[in-house]
Chain A
Amino acid sequence: METRDIISQPTIRETNTDFEVRSLDTICINESRIQHSWWHSLKYLLAGLFFGILLIKAEVISWFRIQEMFRLQSFHMYGVIGTAVVTGIISVWLIKKFKVKTIYGEPIELHPKQFNKGQVYGGLLFGAGWAMTGACPGPLYALIGTGATVIIIVLLSAVAGTWVYGRLREKLPH
């Protein structure tokens, strides 16, 4: 019951002025409506730093580990993603159950995702790119940090891919 309340607050849609951002992706979006000075964002830099260290130390960003995963030669990747998801599920459940607020006192909002065919077509294409480059977007940034400067080209190519998607979006099946 409590979780319903959080998800279906009608105010969420009304106050959202960035409809285009929301229309197909409900994820990776800033849910906060509080305006802060730029230096408040430095805490996300620290969160990213923590995540970046984890990506390297878990070796989940290694092309070798990705090949092991897709060839079913190692449990490592499945273990990392599986335990990360379980931890995430428990965390989100606790947040909903105890109505945890942000450090600014805002209620935490989580949005349901809408299904569209893009999750299938796009998912398959991304899977192919993941197997080829051995990296998803987070790891691309981390790999640049390891000193593999040529990955900058891979990242720029990913930006180009995102741009081309934006350009063709109306013509693609969703």
Chain B
Amino acid sequence: MQFWEWIKQPWPWYVAGPLIGLVVPLLLIMGNKTFGVSSSLRHICAACIPANIPFFKYNWRKETWNLFFVTGIILGAIIATNWLNNGAPIAVDPKLVNDLKQYNIHNYSSIVPVDLFNWPSLLTVRGFLLMVVGGFLVGFGTRYAGGCTSGHAIMGLSNLQWPSLVATCCFMIGGFITANLILPVILHL
């Protein structure tokens, strides 16, 4: 079936991008919810480890919709990976393939670079920095900035909020510096 074959390929940006943008009105119309994922991390803290910190003392039960939303993300990913996938390796720019060769990254079979993100490498300096320190920065930075790519870059910009534009520019600056100057050092470890 032609259609099914097409669905199983990676989707081009001009298909996926507008569909991602439609999540904004979808959540607003479903029940006045503003699109954003990083706040789910805060709700998890508030629900599990509030530790009397004022920042986590609020009625998180009112925000459970966000936890349903992120559970949905996991389920959607399971569906897409198992049933909407043609099993082809991820096609990346030849320049990147060439750059990554020097760090012993050869496996493009999965959307996650298996050479970097795996359980045994957690115990290496490189893996620890990428996964544990990187993850910490994601959680700390998004909350400090008051949002992530979905909350600021997509939702905030959709509502033409200039603080979100500032945040989005800072995400990009932080990413450019890290990917080009710091990451090569970490990958060499």
Contacts and interface: CB of A to CB of B under 8 A. Distances in A.
Contacts of B183: 67, 131-132
Interface string A140-174: 11111111111101111111111111110100100
Contacts of B153: 81, 85
B72 interface: yes
B53 interface: yes
A124 B96 contact: no
Nearest to A62: B111
Interface in A88-144: 88-89, 91-92, 94-95, 100, 102-104, 106, 108-116, 118-138, 140-144
Interface residues of A, number: 133
B147 A57 contact: no
B21 A84 contact: yes
Q: Interface size class for chain B? A: 35 or more
Given A25-B39, A85-B21, A128 B137 contact: yes
B158 A71 contact: no
Interface of B: 10-14, 16-42, 44-45, 49, 51, 53-59, 62-66, 68-81, 84-85, 90, 92-93, 95-96, 99-100, 108, 110-113, 116-119, 122, 129-164, 166-180, 182-183, 186
Interface of A: 17-18, 20-21, 24-32, 34, 36, 38, 40-71, 73-89, 91-92, 94-95, 100, 102-104, 106, 108-116, 118-138, 140-151, 153-167, 169, 172
